[in-house]
Amino acid sequence: MSKSLKRVMGAIGAAGLDLQPVEMPESTRTAAEAAAAVGCALDQIVKSIVFQGQDSGRIHLFLTAGGNQVDPDKASALAGEALGRADAGVVRDRTGFAIGGVAPVGHLTPCPVHLDPRLCDFATVWAAAGTPRHVFAIAPDDLLRLTGATLAPFTRG
């Protein structure tokens, strides 16, 4: 098992949840690929989008429904500082995951987490498990508890 996958499953187990990762035969690097592999709605895929404070350098994680986009102004208002998208190197250094496999939990450095209310429209959603081929299913309420996320709108439209 990869170190990244192990870290994600460790965090899930430590929270008292009994969830299993699913290894897909094809890439789940993008939300569209993950939805196709799982056979679920695009919005049931949890995108883990990392933004960074332009002054502080601190990162924030936005758990976003697959078909939604983070609105940088709304995201900045929630964070209380101007945010821009974190580059791939920052994402890897802070989370320990490469883009395409960033999980909602198991980050090397914990950071504030925000959850898109759209994800709560489903009984189950699917998130990356630390690799571009592993995903896991979770109830949105459990995802909220697991990540300590704040539920607030931050998407475009």
Sites of contact with ligand 5CA (CB under 6 A): 28-31, 34, 45-49, 85, 87-88, 99-102, 127-128, 135
Of the two residues 78 and 136, which places its CB atom closer to ligand 5CA in the complex? 136
**Residues listed for the chain:** 157
- For ligand 5CA, the closer CB: 61 or 78: 61
Min. distance of Cβ 132 from ligand 5CA in angstroms?
6
Q: Nearest to ligand 5CA by Cβ — which residue?
A: 47
Output the CA torsion sign for 69, 127, 86, 81: positive
Shortest CB 27 distance to ligand 5CA, Å: 8
The least distance separating ligand 5CA from the CB of residue 14, rounded to whole angstroms, comes to 21
Q: How far is the CB of 56 from ligand 5CA (least distance, A)?
A: 18
From the CB of 69, what's the least distance to ligand 5CA, in Å? 9
Cβ-based nearer residue to ligand 5CA, 62 or 78: 62
Three-state SS string over the chain comes to CCHHHHHHHHHHHHCCCCCCEEECCCCCCCHHHHHHHHCCCHHHEEEEEEEEECCCCCEEEEEEECCCCECHHHHHHHHCCCEEECCHHHHHHHHCCCCCCCCCCCCCCCCCEEECHHHHHCCCEEEECCCCCEEEEECHHHHHHHHCCEECCCECC
Nearer to ligand 5CA, 51 or 78 (CB): 51
Q: Are 10 and 106 in contact (CB under 8 A)?
A: yes
- 6 vs 85 by CB, closer to ligand 5CA: 85
